[in-house]
Amino acid sequence: MSREGAEYALRARADERDRISGDLLDLESHTTYQLLKGAALDGMTRQRWTAVQAALARLWLLNDAYRAVLREAEQVRAVRAKPGAEQLDELTRLLSGPSVVLRAAAKPVEQRSLLPEADERLTLDETVARMDGAFREVTSALNDIDAVWNAVLPRLDDADRALRELRDLERELGESAGLDAQESQLRRMRAALLSDPLGAGVGPDLGGVARALAEARAEVDQAIVVKREYARRREDLVAALDRVRAAESEARLAHGAVVVKIALPPQARPRSRVEELTGELDALDASADTWVVRARRLAAVESEAAKAADRARATAKALYGLVGRRDELRGRLGACQAMAVRKGMAEDPAATACFERARSLLWTAPCDLTEAAAAVETYQRAIHGGKP
| Residue 313 and residue 348 in one domain | no
Average pLDDT over residues 276-297: 87
| Residue 14 and residue 138 in one domain | yes
Q: Does residue 91 form part of some domain?
A: yes
**Domain housing 376:** 324-383
| Residue 201 and residue 241 in one domain | no
Give the 3-state secondary structure of residue 122: strand
The reported pLDDT for the residue numbered 106 is 64
Q: Does residue 159 form part of some domain?
A: no
Q: Does residue 170 form part of some domain?
A: yes
Q: Does residue 278 form part of some domain?
A: yes
Q: Phi and psi (nearest 5°) for 79?
A: -65, -45
Q: Does residue 157 form part of some domain?
A: no
Cα 104 to Cα 57, 119, 174, 284, 368, distances in angstroms: 14, 5, 71, 84, 110
| Residue 254 and residue 199 in one domain | no
Q: Does residue 258 form part of some domain?
A: yes
Q: Does residue 97 form part of some domain?
A: yes
| Residue 291 and residue 362 in one domain | no
Relative to beta strand 100-102, strand 120-122 is antiparallel
| Residue 143 and residue 8 in one domain | yes
| Residue 369 and residue 269 in one domain | no
The reported pLDDT for the residue numbered 90 is 86
Whole-angstrom distance, CA of residue 46 vs CA of residue 53: 10
* DSSP of 7-52: HHHHHHHHHHHHHHHHHHHHHHH-HHHHHHHTS---HHHHHHHHHH
Whole-angstrom distance, CA of residue 123 vs CA of residue 126: 5
pLDDT band at 30; cut points 50, 70, 90? very high
Q: Which of 300, 319, 338 is the endpoint of a domain?
A: 319
| Residue 314 and residue 361 in one domain | no
| The model's pTM | 0.59
Cα 75 to Cα 37, 61, 83, 202, distances in angstroms: 36, 21, 11, 56
H helices present in the chain, as ranges: 3-29, 31-37, 43-78, 85-96, 124-173, 180-195, 203-259, 274-285, 291-342, 349-362, 369-383
Q: Is 104 exposed, middle or buried (0-12, 13-18, 19+ CB in 10 A)?
A: exposed
Q: Does residue 388 form part of some domain?
A: no
Tell me 120's DSSP state: E
pLDDT in tens, 171-187: 888 888 889 999 999 99
| Residue 18 and residue 129 in one domain | yes
Query: Which amino acid is it at 202?
Result: V
User: How many domains does the structure of the chain reveal?
Assistant: 4
| Residue 52 and residue 136 in one domain | yes
Q: How many CB atoms lie within 10 A of CB 128?
A: 20
Q: Which of 273, 290, 319 is the endpoint of a domain?
A: 319
Q: Which of 295, 319, 343 is the endpoint of a domain?
A: 319
| Residue 209 and residue 188 in one domain | yes
| Residue 286 and residue 314 in one domain | yes
The alpha carbon dihedral of 146, 150, 155, 157 has a sign of positive
pLDDT in tens, 166-225: 999 988 888 888 899 999 999 999 999 999 999 888 878 898 999 999 999 998 888 888
pLDDT in tens, 306-352: 999 999 999 999 999 999 999 999 999 999 999 998 888 878 888 89
The alpha carbon dihedral of 286, 287, 288, 291 has a sign of negative
